[in-house]
Amino acid sequence: MGDKIRVALAPGDGIGPEISEACLRVFEAAEVMDSVEFVPVEMGSAVFAKGDTRGMTDEAIETIEETGLLYKGPMGTPIGGGGKSINVTLRKTFGTFANLRHFQSLPGVDTVFTRAGVPVDIYVVRENIEDTYGGIEHRLTPDVVECKRLISAPGCDQVHRFAFKTAQSLGITKVHCAHKANIMKMTDGMFLERFHHAAKDHPLIETQDVIIDALCMNLVLRPQEYRMVVLPNLQGDIVSDLAAGLVGGLGFAPSANIGDQISIFEAVHGTAPDIAGKGIANPTSLLLSGLIMLRHLGIFRRAVRIENALLATLEEHIHTGDVKDGAEPVGTMAFAEAIIERLGKSPTGFEARRVPEERSPTYTPPTRPTVNRLMRTFETCKSMVCGCDMYIDTMLPVLDLAKRLERLAEGTPFKLTMISNRGTQVWPSGSPYTEIVDYFRVRFELRDAAFLGAIGQMPTIHLLTKIAEKFEIADFQLLKMYDGERGFSLAQGQ
């Protein structure tokens, strides 16, 4: 008992308990319980109902932190009342920086690709914490709102290292990085640059970058050309669902949220309230997520045996009612029993997974950190202030605005160099056809390059104070050079 790997188990809401029970029964029959002990934790609607807006008890959090592993069914997000999505809270709180999803054609699951004889077998690795998911949003003026999109070098490094390590362990020889670095040169640019940096540690894995829109088209036209794609958070979210559509829907897509210390394995679908309690839900997504978990623990042989038994079951057209192929559906438990009966078997008309040698599990639970880990990639980077951008809430005509700002900057180390609106330059040159709103970016840069390195941030604050006496400031940003390179984008048309 003492040698077993402990896993926190949250069956979830709606169909969660039914599909969890079915998965546990398969694990039991496949002798997974010889190495793993599932520890039930309280999480979900029952906890929300007690007034806890986190949706999980202190004991649940303790068990997850102690074991480093959570296997969870779907959970309902309360609408209104202050309760947040447990799924998002868990991912962010426990630093699960990578979301791994596997999309594969399954026997008996009819899609345009299976009909055309085109096999789909794609891993999507999505950055799981940063990007617009920081949820940092503000209303800046009456007409303008913003969402800050933060991308950090350590965040990129974590997800890229994970992608390459996973590709290597799965025998995948090519990894794509999808991005929009042609437009977002700094944020997606950093994501792409760190991808190529991480690739240097894996010289045997071929790499290619692909612009996100082209990726979407290619995935629909030629999905067989992709084995693993790594993406920033929001783009990864969208591409994950696109990829799910290629293999027959979310019901067949497993999901793992991986961190350095804690990892969460979950079904990607919701609680399916319309069929909850009827014993007809499909446990495949949760089961496949459990198989990613077993591999994460180093329990490869038993994971592959279960996967082959699942494939053999589906191949015989034994499935739950959500799969529409004309065959009579079975219930959740009967489906689990059918998998159990086929343990040791493999599909015949579909490529079976190779069953590896039995090895001892490799997992070790986390050691509780005493403080939050501070991550840093560019340790020796030198920055120098070279100006500032102020964002002004005004309806003044551009020329009047420029004249007044130039006057206010007289006698300071800065001169007005550019005004843009929604990212497009409108001064010193621009087109009268550019339509503008009540949120202007005004850029001040050093009058004399000799000031570079000689002044810090205070002169920009003094300028801000001067301008704030006359204008409504919506936002402020320092402009800096980092190791001699510009740390800010130019306006469109600049």
Interface with ligand NAI (CB under 6 A): 15, 19, 74-77, 87, 251, 266, 269-275, 281-282, 285, 322
Question: Least distance to ligand NAI from the beta carbon of 67, Å?
Answer: 20
Question: Least distance to ligand NAI from the beta carbon of 351, Å?
Answer: 25
187 or 284: CB nearest ligand NAI: 284
Question: Least distance to ligand NAI from the beta carbon of 166, Å?
Answer: 21
72 or 295: CB nearest ligand NAI: 72
Q: Which residues contact 396 (CB under 8 A, 6 or more apart)?
A: 404
Phi then psi for residue 24, to 5 deg, are: -65, -35
Question: Least distance to ligand NAI from the beta carbon of 274, Å?
Answer: 5
Question: Least distance to ligand NAI from the beta carbon of 60, Å?
Answer: 15
Select the residue whose beta carbon is closest to ligand NAI and give its number. Answer: 270
Question: Least distance to ligand NAI from the beta carbon of 289, Å?
Answer: 10
14 or 107: CB nearest ligand NAI: 14
